[in-house]
Structure 1
Amino acid sequence: MPYTFSPSSLSLLKDCPRCFWLHFTKGIKRPDSIFPSLPSGMDRVLKEHFDRFMEKGELPPELAECNGECRLFNDKSLLAVWRSNFNGIRWKDERGNLFRGAVDNILVKGKKLVVLDYKTRGYPLKEDTPAHYQDQMDIYNLLLRKNGHETEDYAYLLFYHPNTVHGNGDVDFHSDLVKIPIDASNA
């Protein structure tokens, strides 16, 4: 019987092998926790923000460190599929198992793709924070490669955390762009 795997379900395998087994063999799922709506709202707003720059053929200020070496992926219809939690980037293995993942954005450097993932936090980065997303980035890159796309050997994580609240209630966010190496063979 084929299964469907995503970065989060594969993360479950690492976090709790028994939970993974119960989920996929007995249909017993871990109880859902309350998912705060602020991160999904931020995700939507950030995608809209980046899409405005993509339509102008420019990079947003958060990507200034890229020094013009890349551009935003501009195939809007394909990106919409890749971003969709119900579709995403998909690949079936020889046993019929479906692997899928939904990216936030893609950069293009020459002929290669670079995964860009947005992360929102309540506080500044810790030194080990990017490592918590390694498997997710490796899986996204594997999926792109299995679909015939060349990818760079790195991905970007773009972290946002609140910095200041102004008197009128507007909140300023600080952003940190972190380049992490990827290894699709670890996916």
Structure 2
Amino acid sequence: MPYKFSPSSLSLLKECPRCFWLHFNKGIKRPDTIFPSLPSGMDKILKAHFDSFRDRDELPPELKDMNDEVTLFDNAGLLEVWRNNFRGIQWTDEKGNLIRGAVDNILQKGKKLIVLDYKTRGYPLKEDTAKYYQDQLDVYNFLLRKNGYETEDYAYLLFYHPDKVNENGDFVFHTDLVRMDISVKNAERIFNEAEKVLEGNMPEPSDNCQFCEWVDKCNLHD
């Protein structure tokens, strides 16, 4: 049976192989949790913000330190497809398994593309904050290369967190631009591991999976 993956669904494999297996093979999904709407609203505004600078062939203030080494991806129609959660950048392997990812933005440096992803958070960055998005960036670059595009061996995370409120009530956000080395081999490893797990028997849960722990405790009382 062919599977459809995304960076977020593949992250479940790292969290708990059993939850991942049940999700895809049995349709048993983790309970939905409340998802704050603010990040989605920020994402929409940021895309419009960057698009306005692209239309003027300029870089926004957040990227001025790049000294015009890059430009914003100028194919607005294609970027709209790549941003769409139901379309995105896609690739299908010889077994029919599909992996799809929706990017926030793309930079250009000569003939090569660079992934730019926005992140909104409530607090300043910690030393290890960026590493949690490594797999996501690797998968995006994997997909771009599978579609015939050249990419640089790095990507960018652009973090926004609230800094202060001006006297007129306007919120001011602090930004941090973090360069991340990417590894397409890591994305390939994740994809291959996902197929291997799903084609096998139901695996053991991870040691720290609270969902599986809760189910196991309930079963003890049956």
1:13-42 per-residue CA deviation (whole Å, 9 max, x = no partner) reads 001111000001100011111111100000
Identify the residue that residue 136 of structure 1 maps to in structure 2.
136
Q: How is 1:36-51 mapped onto 2 (pairs within 5 angstroms)?
A: 36-51=36-51
Identify the residue that residue 162 of structure 1 maps to in structure 2.
162
Q: CA RMSD in A?
A: 0.6
- The alpha-carbon deviation at position 151 of structure 1 amounts to 0.3
What is the rounded CA distance, in whole Å, between the counterparts of 2:66 and 2:96 in structure 1?
38
Q: Which moved more, 1:57-66 or 1:45-54?
A: 57-66
- The alpha-carbon deviation at position 142 of structure 1 amounts to 0.1
| Greater strand fraction, Structure 1 or Structure 2 | 1
Verify: 1:84 aligned to 2:84, yes or no: yes
What is the rounded CA distance, in whole Å, between the counterparts of 1:91 and 1:66 in structure 2?
31
The amino acid that maps onto 1:72 is: L
**TM-score of the pair, normalised by structure 1:** 0.99
* SS of aligned partner of 1:20: helix
What is the rounded CA distance, in whole Å, between the counterparts of 2:127 and 2:94 in structure 1?
39
What is the rounded CA distance, in whole Å, between the counterparts of 1:179 and 1:47 in structure 2?
19
What is the rounded CA distance, in whole Å, between the counterparts of 2:66 and 2:169 in structure 1?
32
1:133-162 per-residue CA deviation (whole Å, 9 max, x = no partner) reads 000000000000000000000000000000
- The alpha-carbon deviation at position 167 of structure 1 amounts to 2.5
What is the rounded CA distance, in whole Å, between the counterparts of 2:155 and 2:104 in structure 1?
12
**TM-score of the pair, normalised by structure 2:** 0.83
Identify the residue that residue 18 of structure 1 maps to in structure 2.
18
Number of residue equivalences: 187
- The alpha-carbon deviation at position 64 of structure 1 amounts to 1.4
The higher relative CO (CA closer than 8 Å, separation ≥ 6) is in 2
Structure 2: gaps spanning 5 or more residues: 188-222
What is the rounded CA distance, in whole Å, between the counterparts of 2:166 and 2:60 in structure 1?
23
* SS of aligned partner of 1:140: helix
The amino acid that maps onto 2:62 is: E
* SS of aligned partner of 2:100: strand
The amino acid that maps onto 2:15 is: D
Verify: 1:145 aligned to 2:141, yes or no: no
The amino acid that maps onto 1:177 is: L
- The alpha-carbon deviation at position 65 of structure 1 amounts to 1.9
The amino acid that maps onto 2:91 is: W
Verify: 1:69 aligned to 2:47, yes or no: no
Verify: 1:9 aligned to 2:5, yes or no: no
* SS of aligned partner of 2:85: coil
Verify: 1:178 aligned to 2:178, yes or no: yes
The amino acid that maps onto 1:80 is: E
Structure 1: gaps spanning 5 or more residues: none
Q: Which moved more, 1:161-170 or 1:127-136?
A: 161-170
What is the rounded CA distance, in whole Å, between the counterparts of 2:146 and 2:43 in structure 1?
26
